[in-house]
Structure 1
Amino acid sequence: MISIDYQDRRPIYEQIVARYEMLILTGVLQEDEQLPSVRQMAQELSINPNTIQKAYSILEHDGYIYTVRGRGNFVSGSGSLMKNRRREWEDRLRDLLQEGKKLGIGRAACEKILGGIYENEGEEENAV
């Protein structure tokens, strides 16, 4: 399920994190599904267990997985994960809006800028 691309310039732990994020967000890995142990993953990929542990620690910090002491690592609920990510996104957006206000950018200009970004990125409007 997880593989390492040795041509990729990113560190191995970042590749593992990115792959697990994708598998969790796309629903390939389900809520409460157990991940392979650190030792098992390290053996399968022929890499240092510390690399796997670092990736798992990042995934846990970011809310993708949780750890049960003595049992292993499990996929977090995608609903709570998405709520956390949305909350973080809204916090970043608030910071940007405050910065925009300091620069004299009003609401209409913000809406125009955001609309232009959506248009340029080919995104469709989604009601949330």
Structure 2
Amino acid sequence: MVKLLWGRAGQLRFADQEEYYFSLGLLCNSSWFNIVYEPNRLTNSWGDAFRIQCANCPVGLLPQAFQNALRSQYRINNNEYVENLYSNHNFVYDGVKYIHGDYHSVRTTVPESYLKNFDAGYNQQ
């Protein structure tokens, strides 16, 4: 069973496993989302951050967990969750700025009972 509550303030809260894996599929769609690393310490700002940016996604089609977590500039700030993506779901950091998930590689991390949810998220339009 995967964790459903993410972030120090619990700002990303999935209702159930189905929503978690649906959302994971969505994040493999780079035409909707960018996941970026911002080295804020280099600019004397707060600590480094990972941000999920809702670039071209229709907010009304997002799972409730993402809708509730969206902040200014249509982004989700949650280092813990993004670290989970590359630690447990084969997302890859390009070494410069972007983190992305290849559909086929990420899909290998999804339990068989949730592949339908993952695929539905990836194919959401």
TM over 0.5: no
From the two aligned structures, give the one with the greater strand fraction: 2
Largest Rg, 1 or 2: 1
Superposition TM-score, scaled by structure 1 size = 0.35
Superposition TM-score, scaled by structure 2 size = 0.36
From the two aligned structures, give the one with the greater helix fraction: 1
Higher RCO structure, 1 or 2 (CA under 8 Å, sep 6+)? 2
